[in-house]
Structure formats: C-alpha cells, structure tokens
Structure 1
Amino acid sequence: MAGPQQKKPGKTVPFFASLQVKYAMSYLVIFAVVLVLLNTYPVIASQDLLFTSKRDSLKSQTAVMASALMELESLSADQVARVMNMLDNMGLSRILVTDPAGLILYDSLEAGEKDQENQEEPEEPHYRYALYQEVVGALRGKDVFYSRYENDVFTSTAASPIVYRGMIIGSIYILEVDAAQGQLLSSLQQNLRTISLVIAAATLVMSTFFSKMLTARIAALLRAIRIVGEGEYGHRLQIEGRDEMAQMAEEFNQLTDRLQTTEEVRRRFVSDASHELKTPLASIRLLADSILQNDQIDRDTAREFVSDIGAEADRLTRITEHLLALTRLDSLPAGQTEPVDLSQVADRAVSMLLPVADAAGVTIEKDLKADCVVRSTGDDLYQICFNLIENAVKYNFPGGKVFVSVYRDTDQVLLEVGDTGVGIPEEDLPKIFNRFYRVDKARSRAAGGTGLGLSIARDTVRRHGGWITARPRHPEGTLFTVGFPQYTAQPDRDEEGEG
C-alpha cells in the first residue's frame, strides 16, 4: 500500500539570484555612486577654489613687488635689498629677484640669515642663478603661476617680469608653502569619509530592510501559487496596501476564485456524468444477469428483457453523444458561419417533430416571419430549435399546444418556443441550463431526457453571440426566448467603386 503523497518542495533560488539580493545591491550601487561623488566633487571643488584664490593672491603680490622694483633704472643687489626690506613679505616662504640673465640679486632666505651689524669683513661675491621654469617664463615676459597639493600641504609659486620703459630688467619669484589650508582640506576629506561610512552603514541596513519588506510580499505570492498549484483552491492572499503588489494579490484571489468555481463545476459534472452513466449500465447489467441466471425464461420474457437492454443502450448512447457535443463546444472554436434564415431552420425543425407531436397528442402552432437572417451555421441553429421544440413536446400534456415564433426586434432576431405543459417552478428557472439538471427526474427519464439538451442549446447560442432565457408562460407552461444579432449584408466594395 502506498504511503501518503508528500508535497514537493519548491525550487531553492540561489542567494545571488534572489530578488532580495538584487534589490539590496541596486540600492547599494546607487548609494555607492552618491558616496563617490560626495568624496570627490567637494574636495576637487575646494582644491580648485583654493588654487584660484592663491593664484590671484600671489599674482597680486608679485605685481606689487614688481611695481616697486621697476622704479629702479637698473637692478643691483644693494638697491633690490633696500627696496625689498621696505616691503612686507606677506608670509611668503621665499622671494627671489633676478637680473635679465637669471642671476639672483635677492634671496629672502639668505637675507634673513645675514647679520649686518656683526659682519666685519665683506664676503667674497658668489654668483648663483635661479634655474626655475617660473623664472625663465617671467624673463620671457610672462606671468607664471604653479600650485600643487601634496602631503596635506599647498605649495604655490609665481613669477612676473620687472619691466622698465618696455624693457625686462629682471624677474621676481615668490614661493608660498601653506600647511594651514592643507590641513583644512585634509580635515574636510576626513569628515567626508566619516560621513560616508555612516551613510554606507545606514544604507546597508535600510536596503536590507526595504528589500526584505518588498520581497516578502513576492515570496507570499509565490507560496500561494505553489499552494494553489497543489490543489488547494480555497487559499487566498491577504491584500495589503494599494500598490501594484496589492493589485497582483487581488488578481490572484480572483483567479483562484475562478479556479475554485471551475473545479467545483468539473467535479460536479464528473459526479453527475458518472451517476447518469451508472444508471443505464446498472440496468443493462441487471437485465443481462436476469437472462443468464434464469434457465427457464420464456421467449417473450427474454425478448422483453432484450428490448429493455436496447432501450438502456440507446439512452447510454444519447448521454454519450450529448457529452461529446458539450466537449466539442467547450474545446473547439466556432465553425465557419454564414447568413442563415432562422425562420426556415425553425420550420424544418417543426416539420421533423410533427410526427412526435402527433403521437403525443400535442399541436404545434408556428408564426415565422420572413427575412430573419442571423450569422451562424445551419446545423447549430437546427440543433437549438430542435432541442427547445422537442422539450416543449415531451413535457406537455395530451391535447396541449406548442407555440413557435420567429420575428425581428430592432437589431435582433428572436426565437420563442412556448408550451402549455407542466411548467418550471420559479426556484428552478436559474438552474435549468446547468448540466444534468432536471426539474422532475422521474418524468425526465421516462421521456428519455439526459439533462444536457438545454446546456447544449445555451452553449451553442453563446458561441454565436446570442442569449437564451426561460420564464413562466401565463396562464400555464414555459416560454423560452433566444436572441441573435440580426445580420445586415455589407455592400460590395467593387460595386461601390464602380458607382
């Protein structure tokens, strides 16, 4: 004996392929880009601002010094030193003044080290040249500025020519080493790094939280799909929020509602079909066993049993044919349609059923209007008319009447089949088009009914865009009404073109 069937576990999603990780990574990537910009743009902008400030400041200082020196007709070491001693060095690290050949006439570093008062003998002259590219550029008549930021220190140099009456008589070169501004910029970078670390930690926590919150609803939907896939059609999702996920949950619940309804209809149909097929099969089996077990059965009794077996076989055949017809209606698309006159089809169905009506003592009265054309197939319309008229004859009283009429009503063509028969109770009217539903089962079986004729008629009508209703007919009986869109012929395009 087989054990209980175990549920198949769902497929495990790889960690890096999960939506939660993807959402978290997307958040992290976005914030990483933001942090990179936060750590680069302000620093670069601050450096550029400081470079610009220093360029303007140093150029202004060189211009002032050059203006003071250009009053000298020629530059000598003593004259330059006298002028430079009167000027403020403005916090500069070094100041050089050269002649047109680049020979250093004044160096602030050496000037600060000399002690004029204690020098007894003059030093022997020594010659040094300022071999700096800034000085070379200045002696060519250019204002030069360079600045760099290394090891938390700004090092800036500037040079300008000294011009007297249009002639370059020398150059001035200044050097500034600014550690204070460098420390300020370094502190800014350190603060940005600290802020970035805090933001990164907060981003990691928030991205994990939000991605888990978002994917939790997706995981719940996935679990619900698996549960429904295992046959538990009563499972529903709890709808939270008003976003797209809530709409998906609502659509899922509506889908499971339809699946549950379809499954219930299928089970009921299978149960009813099994019951309907079981009854004639049981009768055939019982009659056959009676013939086989009774050795003394006479010929007339055996003939009667065989006749009953044939009747049950015919009934089984009708049920099978109706089931096949319903299956075709459920699974196959509508066939090739064409304009068909419903009055002519109804008249043919009445002609075919007249012998049955005469045998039952029922009169058929017809009122078939001309030019009642619908788009359908002749076979489908005939089956609808035949089923409705046959039911009206079968479930009528001897001496009763059946009324068949076809007419146009605005843009529709209506078929009405009424009778003076037993009628249908009000509470049963909504159910009579259900498969295997019969109001009076004993009378239906006696009349050879299968409980599928009205279902076939309804499905066939719907396939062609029509509708069907049933209501009590006063003073007695039942009235079935079928409506189809009226067919209107379209004018030939070729004829319109010729016109």
Structure 2
Amino acid sequence: MPIRWRLTLFNTLAIGLILLAVGLGLFFLLRGLLLSDLRQTVAERARAAAAEIREVDDEDEAIDGEDIEDLTLDGAFILVRDGEGDVIFQTVNLASSPENDPLWRRALEEGRAVSGTAALSAEAPDHVVAVPVSAPRNPARVVEAGMSLEPVEQALAAFRTALLIGLAAGLVISAAGSYLLARLALAPVDAVVRAAEEMGSTDLSGRLPVANPQDEIGRLAATINALLARTEAAFGRQREALGRQRRFAADASHELRTPLTSIAGYARMLERWALKDPDAAREGAAAIRREAERMQHLVEELLALARGDEGRPLELGRADLAEVAEESAAAARAAAGDRVSVVWEPPEGPVEAVFDRERVRQALAALLDNAVRYTPEGGRVSVRALRRDGKAAVRVEDTGPGIPEEQLGMIFERFYRVDGTRSRRLGGAGLGLSIARQIAEAHGGAIEVRSVPGEGSSFTLLLPQEGPRKL
C-alpha cells in the first residue's frame, strides 16, 4: 500500500476514534443531564404531593384536586394509594394495578421514599417516586409521582442519529483532508523520484529539487544532493587519476625507451665494430653503463612513486631535522663537485620533529638534486633548517634561472619539465619534485615554492613537529 494511502487510513482512523469518543461522551453526558432533571422533577412533585396529603386530617375530607393538578403541569402524574395499594386519587386514568407497581409496597415496608421504573402510564416506561405518608385520619398511605421516559428516549434517539450522521460526515471529510494533506506532503518525494529517474548512470551533474530545505524531505534531498556532489567529485578525481595514470604510463614508456634505444644502438655497434676497435668498445661500454644507470635511476623513482601511491607506512621516530638536512647537503655537495657551491647554514639549535628519516632524506635529496641540476656553473645552493608556525622546515634556495609564475602550479606534476629540452639534456626525468611532495604530504606536511625568473627559486619542506595526524 502506498505511503499516502497508509497516512490517509491512519489519520482517518485516528480522527474517527476521536470523534467517536467525543460523541459517546456527549451522548452519555446529555443522557445523564436529561435523566437527572427528570428524576429531580419527579422527586419534587412526589414530596409536594405528600405534603398536600398530610394536610388532610379528616377521613371524610376530600383531597384538594386543584392543588395536586398544579403539580402535573409539566407532564408529571400523581397517584395516591391506601395501605392495600388501591388507588384513591389519580390525576389521569392510569393502567395500573398493585402488581404492575412494586414501588408503593417497598415505600410502605421501608418507611422511606423509593424510586424506580414502572409501567403506569400509556407512555410507559415511567420513572416513579413513591413517598410514604403518615395521616392517622386519612386512608392515604403512599403518594406516587411519575413522568414518562419516552420524551428523554426520543431526544436521545434524535441526538444519536445526528451524532452518527456527524461522525460519518467527519470521517469522509477527514479522509479527504488526510489524502490531500498526504499528497501535498509527499509531492516533493514524487519530484525527487522523477528527478532521480531522469539522471543517467554516468551523469552525476543533476540535482534533486529541494522545495523546503527546513522540512524532513528537504533535508533528505539536500543530503542526497551533497552525496551526489561528493560522488561526482570522486568520479572526477578518478577520471583525473586515470588520465594521469595513462599519461604516466606513456611518459614512463617514453623515458624508458630512450635509454633502451641507446643501449640497443651501442650494443649493435659493439657487435659490428668494437671487436676490432678497442676505443670504440670502451666508448660503447661506457655509454651502455651510463644509460643503464639512468634507466636504473628512473626505475627507482617510478618505484618510489608507486610505493607512495600505495600508502606505504612510514617508519616514524623523533629526530633532528637539521641533522638530516646537513647530511643531505653534504651528499649534494659531493655530487656537485666544483660546478656549484652547496652551502649549509646551521640553525641556532636542534629542529626536532617526528618523521621517517629515510623518506625525508629522499625528499631532501630530490630537492637538492633539482636545485644543483638547474643552477648554472659557479652558482650557489643554500640549505638551512628552521622552525616556522609550529612546524619543522628545511629551505633549499638556489641561484638558478627561476620558474615562470604560470608554471609554478605544474612543476610537481609527474614528468613535467619547465624546459623539456634542457631538462632531458641535464638528465632529469621530471619525477624528483613529485616524489618530494608525495613524501611531504604523507607526513601531513607540504612543500612551498617561491621563484623569481632570472634570480632563483626557493623550496621549503614543512613537516608537523608531532608527525602526521592519525585519522
């Protein structure tokens, strides 16, 4: 059963039960009021008639019918019985016998007023009150006053009919109102369903309509829209990642093909001429060794990136970042020789942090290799450790050609080179900065770069002092 019909049925039943309870309450309240008023009237008439009878002291004195008649103007009737139950006075002709009216006997026996229902008038049943009287010189012993219950029953029957009609009308109105209310309340759901059905399996740009963001359905639609936005962003990142992977595979294939082509060429040269020419053999062997080393370096960089992409766990420990930076600067100085001056600027004290010593050393080696590689002969590369904004940092500055501002956002892309021809001639594959940024981000840090074309560049490795934040 659809939700709107279930809501309609539930609301209709609930309203129907409420109307029924209210109707029954009113019915019994009205019944009690009518019966109470009738009983009170009959009791007053009985006491008044009994008082009139007590005033008759002589046996031969007749009962004043006019005074008694005044007590019956509102539909009541009066009977006066002797000790045997015979009627000695009545206001109307009643179809009564002692057997049909046990109340007078109870009143005589108990010596007090009693009330009940009896069939005395033509409009029976009647409510009757019997009051015993004590008149030594008068045969009257019991005075009975009564009123027919038929008017009360007629009033209650009319009220009951009106109540049933009102209840039926209320049920119809409540059912129609509940259905319209449920339809209006669920209209946004229908709109959401239609919008969801119109969305394609690959098109996540559509959004669900939000009629009222403050109600439950609006919040649900807004939540689904937020989920769609996150899913769309995730798919976008996945597409970008796949695109980068394709470009990465193509670039890696191209970079590996170059040394392999050189190795194959020198191998053919050795096969044809080197056996007769020792100089050519030495030249070919040296070239093959250089290309093999270049290929080995490239493969190691690719392996480092692949391990970083897999999220290889870090071997964290507290250490002095300045000590690692000094060691990296010494290694870069030895590799640069006399071509470039690599200067270490010691800090005033230790720069301690929690990091993976070998991975950070690898990142610094990549930054220094990049600085030394692009700094012209006679240039200068300076290295120093420092604290900044609650983080441990290592800054590498060079006096190289600098990087154009429009290319600063792309230098960390894999295989990207600012000057492709010059970079290839210098032996770079364009992976060093990608590896350095990957290691920094794995530690919860970052790499900042500033560059002025013609003056040089500055790369700053930032690491949290307490290590990467645990999620």
For the criterion TM > 0.5, the same-fold answer is: yes
Alignment-mate amino acid for residue 10 of structure 2: V
Q: What is the CA-CA distance between 1:302 and the residue it aligns to?
A: 6.4
User: Is contact 2:115-2:128 (8 Å) kept?
Assistant: yes
Alignment-mate amino acid for residue 189 of structure 2: T
What are the equivalent positions in structure 2 for 1:324-363 lying under 5 Å apart?
324-329=306-311, 335=314, 337-358=316-337, 361-363=339-341
1:175 aligns with 2:148: yes
Q: Distance in 1 between matches of 2:399 and 2:248?
A: 30
Q: Distance in 2 between matches of 1:80 and 1:284?
A: 145
Structure 2 residue corresponding to 1:87, chosen from 71, 74, 80? 71
Q: What is the CA-CA distance between 1:320 and the residue it aligns to?
A: 2.6
User: Is contact 1:95-1:108 (8 Å) kept?
Assistant: yes
Q: What is the CA-CA distance between 1:424 and the residue it aligns to?
A: 0.9
Q: What is the CA-CA distance between 1:367 and the residue it aligns to?
A: 1.0
Q: What is the CA-CA distance between 1:84 and the residue it aligns to?
A: 5.0
Structure 2 counterpart of 1:162: 131
Q: 1:485 to 1:310 in 2, by over 3 A?
A: closer
SS at match of 2:310: helix
Q: 1:248 to 1:297 in 2, by over 3 A?
A: same
Structure 2 counterpart of 1:414: 393
SS at match of 2:382: strand
Q: Distance in 1 between matches of 2:360 and 2:379?
A: 25
Q: Distance in 1 between matches of 2:334 and 2:103?
A: 126
1:255 aligns with 2:255: no
Q: What is the CA-CA distance between 1:409 and the residue it aligns to?
A: 3.9
Structure 2 counterpart of 1:215: 189
Q: 1:457 to 1:440 in 2, by over 3 A?
A: same
Q: Distance in 2 between matches of 1:57 and 1:362?
A: 123
| Cα distance per residue 1:148-167 (max 9 Å; x no partner) | xxxxxx99854434144699
SS at match of 1:416: strand
Q: What is the CA-CA distance between 1:391 and the residue it aligns to?
A: 1.2
Q: Distance in 1 between matches of 2:303 and 2:107?
A: 109
Structure 1 counterpart of 2:277: none
**TM-score, structure 2 normalization:** 0.77
1:33 aligns with 2:14: yes
SS at match of 1:26: helix
Q: Distance in 2 between matches of 1:158 and 1:44?
A: 24
Q: What is the CA-CA distance between 1:388 and the residue it aligns to?
A: 1.3
**TM-score, structure 1 normalization:** 0.73
Matched residue count: 440
Structure 1 counterpart of 2:304: 322
Q: 1:447 to 1:38 in 2, by over 3 A?
A: farther
Moved more, 446-455 or 26-35: 446-455
Q: 1:72 to 1:441 in 2, by over 3 A?
A: same
Moved more, 389-398 or 33-42: 33-42
| Cα distance per residue 1:444-464 (max 9 Å; x no partner) | 334443433323322332333
Structure 2 residue corresponding to 1:443, chosen from 422, 425, 429? 422
Q: Distance in 1 between matches of 2:413 and 2:117?
A: 95
Q: What is the CA-CA distance between 1:480 and the residue it aligns to?
A: 1.0
Identity over aligned residues, as a percent?
19
Q: 1:239 to 1:339 in 2, by over 3 A?
A: same
Q: What is the CA-CA distance between 1:425 and the residue it aligns to?
A: 0.7
1:57 aligns with 2:32: no
Q: What is the CA-CA distance between 1:190 and the residue it aligns to?
A: 0.8
SS at match of 2:381: strand
Q: Distance in 2 between matches of 1:205 and 1:135?
A: 65
Structure 1 residue corresponding to 2:98, chosen from 106, 119, 128? 128
User: Is contact 2:38-2:147 (8 Å) kept?
Assistant: no
Structure 2 counterpart of 1:46: 27
Alignment-mate amino acid for residue 61 of structure 1: V
1:268 aligns with 2:233: no
Q: Distance in 1 between matches of 2:410 and 2:135?
A: 116
Q: What is the CA-CA distance between 1:362 and the residue it aligns to?
A: 1.1
Q: Distance in 1 between matches of 2:435 and 2:128?
A: 105
Structure 2 counterpart of 1:150: none
Structure 2 counterpart of 1:428: 407
Structure 2 counterpart of 1:185: 160
Q: 1:155 to 1:103 in 2, by over 3 A?
A: closer
Q: 1:182 to 1:363 in 2, by over 3 A?
A: same
Structure 2 residue corresponding to 1:368, chosen from 343, 346, 350? 346
| Cα distance per residue 1:426-467 (max 9 Å; x no partner) | 101122223443222233334443433323322332333433
User: Is contact 1:277-1:319 (8 Å) kept?
Assistant: no
Q: Distance in 1 between matches of 2:455 and 2:444?
A: 30
User: Is contact 1:98-1:172 (8 Å) kept?
Assistant: no
User: Is contact 1:346-1:382 (8 Å) kept?
Assistant: yes
User: Is contact 1:102-1:129 (8 Å) kept?
Assistant: no
1:232 aligns with 2:232: no
1:298 aligns with 2:267: no
Q: Unpaired segments of 5 or more residues in structure 1?
A: 1-15, 114-125, 148-153, 489-499
Structure 1 counterpart of 2:292: 310
| Cα distance per residue 1:177-205 (max 9 Å; x no partner) | 12244214312321331232133133224
Q: What is the CA-CA distance between 1:358 and the residue it aligns to?
A: 1.0
Q: 1:105 to 1:40 in 2, by over 3 A?
A: farther
Alignment-mate amino acid for residue 263 of structure 1: Q
Q: Distance in 2 between matches of 1:143 and 1:303?
A: 138
Q: Distance in 2 between matches of 1:414 and 1:134?
A: 116
Q: Unpaired segments of 5 or more residues in structure 2?
A: 275-280
Q: Distance in 2 between matches of 1:340 and 1:196?
A: 80
Q: Distance in 2 between matches of 1:362 and 1:324?
A: 32
Q: Distance in 2 between matches of 1:286 and 1:264?
A: 32
